[in-house]
Amino acid sequence: MHIEHLSLTNFRNYARLEISLPPGKPVVLHGANAQGKTSLLEAIYYLATSRSPYTTSDRQLIHWRTENEPLPFARMVAEFSNRESPLQRLEITLMLDMSSGSPRFKKNIKLNSVERRVMDVVSLLTVVLFLPQDLSLVEGSPADRRRFMDTTLTQVNRAYVEALDTYEKTLPQRNALLRRIAEKRASVAELSYWNERLTQAGSVLIAERQRFLRELERRAQSNHHDLTGGKETLTLQYQPSFLPTVEGSGQRSFDVLGLDLHRELSAEDIQPQFAAQLQAEQREAIERGVTL
Domain 2-121 fold = Rossmann fold (3.40.50)
Give CATH 3.40.50.300 domain extents, the chain: 2-121
82 to 50, 110, 146, 174, 227: CA distances (angstroms): 20, 18, 29, 41, 34
Between strands 73-81 and 114-115, the pairing is: unpaired
pLDDT attached to residue 242: 55
Q: How far apart are CA 153 and CA 164, in angstroms?
A: 10
Query: What pLDDT is stored for residue 104 in this prediction?
Result: 86
Q: How far apart are CA 262 and CA 148, in angstroms?
A: 21
Rounded-to-5 percentages of helix, strand, coil across the chain:
45, 15, 40
**One digit per residue, pLDDT tens: the chain, 292 residues?**
889 999 999 999 999 999 999 888 889 999 899 899 999 999 999 999 999 999 989 999 999 888 888 889 999 999 999 777 789 999 999 999 877 777 789 999 999 999 999 989 988 898 988 888 888 888 898 888 998 999 999 999 999 999 999 999 999 999 999 999 999 999 999 999 999 999 999 999 999 999 999 999 999 999 999 999 999 999 988 887 554 333 434 444 455 445 555 567 899 999 998 999 999 999 999 999 999 8
What is the Cα–Cα distance from 167 to 210, expressed in whole angstroms?
Answer: 17
SS3 for 250-286 is CCCCCCCCCCCCCCCCCHHHHHHHHHHHHHHCHHHHH
pLDDT in the model for residue 224: 94
Q: Where are the alpha helices (DSSP H) in the chain?
A: 37-49, 118-121, 136-139, 142-156, 158-182, 191-227, 267-280, 282-288
